[in-house]
Each structure stands twice: as structure tokens, then as C-alpha cells.
Chains A and B, each alone.
Chain A
Amino acid sequence: MLYYQSLEFAEPNLSLDSDDLQRRFYLRSRQLHPDRFARASNAEQQAALEASSVLNDAYRTLRNPVLRAEYFLKHHGFDIGEQRSKDVAPDLLEEVFELNMALEELKMGDESVREQIDHARGRFEHLRQGIDQQLEELFGRYDRQPEPGLLVGIRGLLNRRRYISNLIETATMAPSTDKS
């Protein structure tokens, strides 16, 4: 996988240590950045531009566990990104319905529901943290024993995470009457 190669990983792991990643990024930047080739030939300058843009892209993607997993899945033949918020998680249906009701009421000017919305957001954030922990665990298991079934599980978690993130964003973007 190109991004892992760019950062000189011997093998592409799903679990990465962020300090190690940063160390690799800085080291490779010192080698590849166009500043190092300011007086080189046009061809070398062009190559440096290409290589460092890939490197920057790689670092941006791999340091974020979600983007990293999506990149990884894509390279294993999974279709990522199309199942937006359509797949409502059945266990969340009731809570989503209540959140939407509360948001409607807030829009009508009922400030009393704000507490309820904040509470819902807190709960969704808690759920997301749980997913992140589960992802970390699955990453580790796959790195030790790469069974394709684990990737299916990871994809499921990613979809659920995306759905919950949308809910958190909706709750956060609730029309504010300036609480600050």
C-alpha cells in the first residue's frame, strides 16, 4: 500500500503508534521535501513535489485511525463511503427520534429541551468512544491474525461510527441562543 511504503513501514499494520508515525513523517520530510531540491534539476524537483505530496497525504490519512482503516479496507476490496447515514442502527432508533423531536422544539423556541439535547450528545459521544476502543482492539487482532472476517467487523463499526458522528454534529449545531 502506497501510504505505508511512503512512510517506510515494512508491513502495513492497522495499529500504529502515533509517536513512531510522527518520527517517520519528519524523517521522510527531511529527505523528500522540495526545499531540499531547490537547486536541483527540473526532473528532480518534480519528483520531490510528487513524493512529498504523497507523503503528506499518507501522514494525514494514517495518523487518523478512521481514515487509516478506510484506506486499509479500500485496499482489501471493500467499498467505503457510500453507505452514509442511511443505515440507521436499529438500537438507536428511539434515541434518534427523541433527539429530532427535541431539536424541532428548540427550533420553535423551547429552551427547556436544550438540556435534553446536551444529554443526548454526551451519550452519543460516549458511544463513539466505545466504538473507538473496539476498533483499536480489532486492529490489533487483525495485525496478529489477518482474518478477513475481522475486516467485515471493522467496516460495520466504521459505518456505525459515521452515523453516530453525524448525530453528534447535529446536536452540536443545534441553534444556539449563545450560552457562552
Chain B
Amino acid sequence: MSTFQIDFGSAKKPRILGIDLGTTNSLGAYMGLTGPQIVPGADQQNLVPSVVYFAEDGSTVVGFPAVEKLKTDPARTVYSAKRLMGKGLADVRTELPLLSYGVDEAKSASVVHLAIGVTPPEVGARVLKQIKDNAEAHLGEEITQAVVTVPAYFNDAQRQATKDAGRIAGLEILRLVNEPTAAALAYGLDKRNQGIIAVYDFGGGTFDISILKLHDGIFEVLATNGDTHLGGDDIDQLLLRVALEDIQSEWQLDLSSDVVAVQSLRRAVIDAKHELSTKPFVNLEFAWQGRRYQRELTRGVFDQLIAPIVNRTLEPCRACLKDAGVTVEQIDEVVLVGGSTRIPLVRSAVENLFRARPHTELNPDEVVALGAAVQAGILAGEVTDALLLDVTPLSLGIETMGGVVSKLIHRNSTIPASATEQFTTAVDGQRNVLIHVLQGERELVKDCRSLARFDLKDIDPVPAGLARIEVKFMIDANGILNVSAKDIRTGKQQSVEVKPSYGLTDDQVEAMILESIEKAEADFNERQVREARVEADAILAATDKAKANDAWLDLSDEERSAVNDAVNQLLLVYHSDQHSLILEKIEALNQATMSLAENMMNTAVRGALKGTKI
């Protein structure tokens, strides 16, 4: 008997993109033949600044061109939107004075709405779309699926908001991976096969520390800790404040309410910060309305200024060691991630704490994206030896009597993790039970973060205490909570309505997706119109030129007026937004000039025969 081998694997599977969606910069990577590769940008710059300019007409600009807009139109240029992801107004109040763009406070109770009419997930979506476009242009194939990284210490709402950004951008996010874990993946692939690694991730807006155990390709996260509100942004803000005060005392002028001046000064202090990573001192310069401000900043003074910020990262590190159940001596390697780890003071603080020389071989701006690509390779089945076992950063609990939180899943539990709990009714014939789910380590509801309220609906009306509803809380591999419920008496699936405390509802996300599709249609239509106009320009110019030719005079009067008519018709529709109309008139002009073109050809041939110049 003969056998046939069919290689189903030969059918090309769509590629999964890895994306580091950062506070300051974002970057894409994919699994190449030799390992993870960075997606190059259109302008030869790989990093895409996470900055989006929203023009009045609804069009957007992403990346470096948007950074330029910060200087001229700061109110419509959004940066650091990641700090607002999954948050409500109360969470971000202290940040508002630092932003050059406003927030619509009336709409922002559970989801921050920017004054220019967009939400942070929509801003994130524009950045994701840009990276998707870059990858498609580079790889020459359509990309629909991605692995996106998030800070390990992101809560449920922040994770959900990131997933929403993907959906709006037309990307299915197959997995959210924690940034420090991704970095470990990028480092650990061909390195040691056993050991304990600490990943210190100090980025633009967030700080994470994770401790992992490596064992023959398994990356088991033992514990994670961090601060989602601590990053290079805070250093920029501090320097900016110091510079503003200095300028005020020198010029007797308070520039802090002049958004354009502040943005330009912010740029100057950021440049100074970057330079101080390699130089012992730097000249901070700032020009404004003909005046010049100049100040020498030494690394010593800089270190003194930022020491409190750097020290804030150390307490989470100690807590993480304790939770992981390891001592400093047991840490075999330390990996540095994030742009802020370029600061010498940060490096020495990490060295002092872990008593180990940190790894810096990989570019700290790229290592997370590279790790996301490795995880994409794992999901696609291209990488088979590595597996990531991550944890949930925060405990999950439900509200019980007296405003106390009863913990169901403890922080640093390996995910997926689940817990089941039984609920019953308190009143005869009660049809609904409301479950309030919270995230956090504290005992009282008021000290934890509300995640959502789950409404168990349509419970069979039975005497009080007789109903038995089993609710299953499941934290999936993305760190996102899913809830399902079953009526134990009937065995039927119980319907659950989710009311998220923060974040967009499904309907809102759907509406944004529709809008972005409409936008995409509008973009496409506009491109077609532009192309049609370019074609019209060409034929109008050619016709004009032909009229100067002898052949024009060889035409009959009717022919000449037909051409003039066709030219006028085309000019009439030239500014129309319907490309088909323009194309139609171009075709008509083409027809009308047919005999003119023939005549010109003949004239040319005759001219050539005579040996004269046409």
C-alpha cells in the first residue's frame, strides 16, 4: 500500500507581528529566518515615537512628523497617552497640568476623553496602525495578528484598553506579554539554560521589576512588581520644573502657562538628559522671543536631582525579591530594559542592589520588541523550545460584607489562574446578584481598584438562600479577567452582564472600529482622487503643449472646439471628490484629442523624413 504525505505546513501561515507599544517610543519586530528582526520605518528610523497629531480635518500624523507638530500645535498633538490607558479622570488629575493637550473632564469619569475628541486607546491604535503599515510595506504581506507588550504591573483595565487599541487598529492581539518577560525572552533564547534572572525595566512612563527562573527553555516568572506611574517622563518633568523656575528668577517671567514655550523647553531638557548619559556636563540652551537662556548642568547635579526618582524603583525590587522567595545572592543575571536605564545613576543603583553587573548587550530600546517577536514565534509554532509562564501582578478579589475584599486569586499566581465561588440569594424570588470584583493588595474595597461589576441575571425565582450560582473567575494568559457562571441546581449557564468600572464598553469599541474603517475608506478615496488629479494635470499639460503644434491647425473647427469643450469639462470636475468623475472626463478628453495626436504623429514622421526639427 502506498502512502501519501501531504505537507499541510507548506501552506504559508500568516505572520504574527511583535509590537512594543511604549510610552515614548514604539517598535515592531518579526520572527525572521535567523531570529527576531526589527521592522524598519519608512524614514529609515526604526523607532516610532508614540506621538500622534490630530489635524482639524480629522487626518492624523504619527511618529517623528508628529513630534515636529508638538512645537507648532501642541494642543492637538498627543504624547505619553499610555499613561492614560485604562484610567478615569480621578486617576490622572495630577498629570493634567503636565500635558500640552487638554482633557474633556465632563466625559472622563470612567474613561479619559481628550479635548480633541479621542480616547487613549484610539491614540494607541494610530501608533499600532503605523507599525502595522511599516511591517506590511517591509514584508510585502498583510498583517492581521500581533503580540503586544504591556508593563507587567498593568492592571486589568489597562490591559483591556491596550487590546481595544489593537481592535481599533484592525489588529487581532493574540497575546499581551509583559515587557520585562519579553526582554528575558529576547535575552534568554541562546544564553544559559538554567538560572535566576532579574529584569529591571525603567521606561518612559512605567517601571517594572520581574524575577524569572530559567530552565531548559521554560521562562517561569516567580514574581513581579512595579509602578505604572514612574518613568523617564518624571525625570523630564522634574528638569522642566527646575528650568522654568530658573528662567523665572532670571527673566522675572513665568513661562509655565505658555504651551509652546514649555514644549520647546521640554525638548531642550530631554536632549540635555540624553547627553548627560555619556558626558560629564551639558549646556542647556533655550531661546524664546529673542532672549537666550543658558545653564551648565553637570552630571553630579543631575544625579542629585533625580536620585529620589531612581530610589523609588528600589522598594519594588526588594518586595519582588521577597515575593519570589530568592535572595540577592541567588540572582544570576540582571537585564536592563527601557531608555531610562541608559542613565549612569540608574545603572549603578541596580548594580548596588543586585550586586551583579547588568546585561546591556541588546539595545534597551529594542529588546522588548525583539522579545515580542519571539513570543509571536512561539504562538505561530515557529519557536518550539521556549515557553513563557507568566504571573498576574495584582491580587483579585470580590467585595464582601462591610466593604471588605475577599481575595480569590493572589498576586504572582501563574496564569492562566482560576477560582470558583458560590453565590446565593438573600431575598425570596431575587432575580439578580451583583458581584463587585476588585484588584489590589489592600483589605478594604475603598483601597483597592474597582475592576468591574458582574450582574448575574435572570436567576430562577426561588426562596432566599436556595439559589446556587457557581461563578468562575478566570485570568487568562493575557492577564485579563473572564467571568462565567453556572446555576448548579439546573446546570444551566447563567447569564452575566459585565459593567467595567474603567474602560470602554464593547459598543464603544465597535463604534471606534467602524469609524476607523470609514476613515480608512475616506483615506482610500482621497488617494484615488489625488491620483486622478495627477493624471488630469498630465493630460491638460499635454493638450496645452499640442495646441502650440502645427497639427492643431490641421484640425477641423469642430474637432478643435470638441477638444476645448473636453478641456473645460475636465477643469469643471477637477476639484470634485469623486475620482470616477474626473477619470471619466479624462477619458473624454483623450477621445477628443485622438485625431490631434494622430496628426502630431504624422507631422512628426514627415518632419523626420524631411530631416527638419519638429
Contacts and interface: CB of A to CB of B under 8 A. Distances in A.
A49 B416 contact: yes
Contact of B474 (A22, A49, A60): A49
B388 interface: yes
A82 to B, nearest CB: 15
Contacts of A57: 417-418
A56 B416 contact: yes
Interface stretch (B330-338, B377-385, B438-446): B377-385
Contact of A39 (B220, B380, B415, B417): B380
B387 A53 contact: no
Contacts of B220: 26
Interface in B467-520: 474, 476-477
Interface in B379-405: 379-381, 387-389
A33 B389 contact: yes
B416 A59 contact: no
Interface string B427-454: 0000000000000000000000000000
A110 interface: no
B216 interface: yes
B215 interface: yes
Nearest to B383: A35
A34 B477 contact: yes
Given A29-B218, A53-B474, A35 B414 contact: no
Given A33-B477, A34-B476, A26 B218 contact: yes
A120 B187 CA distance: 46
Contact of A53 (B174, B380, B416): B416
Contacts of A35: 175, 375, 378-379, 387-388, 477
Contacts of B413: 56, 60
A34 B175 CA distance: 10
A39 B379 contact: yes
Contacts of B380: 38-39
Given A56-B413, A59-B414, A60-B414, A38 B474 contact: no
A34 B415 CA distance: 10
A41 B413 CA distance: 27
B476 A49 contact: yes
Interface in A16-50: 22, 26, 29-30, 33-36, 38-39, 49-50
Nearest to B474: A53
A17 to B, nearest CB: 16
Contacts of A33: 387, 389, 477
Nearest to A49: B416
Contacts of A54: 418
Contacts of A39: 13, 379-381
B381 A30 contact: no
Contacts, number: 57
Given A35-B175, A35-B378, A49-B474, A56 B13 contact: no
A165 interface: no
Interface in B404-431: 413-418
A22 B214 CA distance: 12
Contacts of B378: 35
A39 B218 CA distance: 21
Contacts of B416: 34, 49, 52-53, 56
A99 B150 CA distance: 46
Contacts of A59: 414
Nearest to B16: A38
A153 B477 CA distance: 40
A44 to B, nearest CB: 14
B414 A56 contact: yes
A54 B417 CA distance: 7
B417 A26 contact: no
B215 A26 contact: yes
Contacts of B175: 35, 38
Contact of B417 (A22, A36, A53): A53
Nearest to B379: A38
Contact of B216 (A26, A34, A52, A60): A26
Contacts of B474: 49, 53
B21 to A, nearest CB: 19
Contacts of B381: 38-39
B476 A29 contact: no
A43 B216 CA distance: 30
Nearest to B415: A56
B327 to A, nearest CB: 16
A35 B175 CA distance: 9
Contacts of A36: 387
A38 B174 contact: yes
A26 B414 CA distance: 12
Nearest to A30: B387
A29 B477 contact: no
A49 B387 CA distance: 15
Contacts of B388: 35
Contacts of B375: 35
A29 B389 contact: yes
B543 to A, nearest CB: 56
Nearest to B416: A53
Contacts of A50: 418
B375 to A, nearest CB: 8
Interface string B97-108: 000000000000
A26 B219 CA distance: 10
Among B174, B215, B380, B414, find the residue whose CB has the most chain A CB atoms closer than 10 A.
Answer: B414
Contacts of B13: 39
Contacts of A30: 218, 387
Nearest to A34: B477
A177 B387 CA distance: 45
Contacts of A49: 416, 474, 476-477
Contacts of A60: 413-414
Contacts of B387: 29-30, 33, 35-36
- 5 tightest A-B contacts by CB? A38-B379, A53-B416, A53-B418, A56-B414, A34-B477
24 contacts: A22-B215, A26-B216, A29-B389, A30-B387, A33-B387, A34-B416, A35-B175, A35-B375, A35-B378, A35-B477, A39-B380, A49-B416, A50-B418, A52-B416, A53-B417, A53-B474, A56-B414, A56-B415, A56-B416, A56-B417, A57-B417, A59-B414, A60-B413, A60-B414
Given A26-B216, A35-B379, A52-B477, 16 more contacts: A22-B215, A26-B215, A33-B477, A35-B175, A35-B477, A36-B387, A38-B175, A39-B13, A39-B379, A39-B380, A49-B416, A53-B415, A53-B418, A56-B413, A56-B414, A56-B417
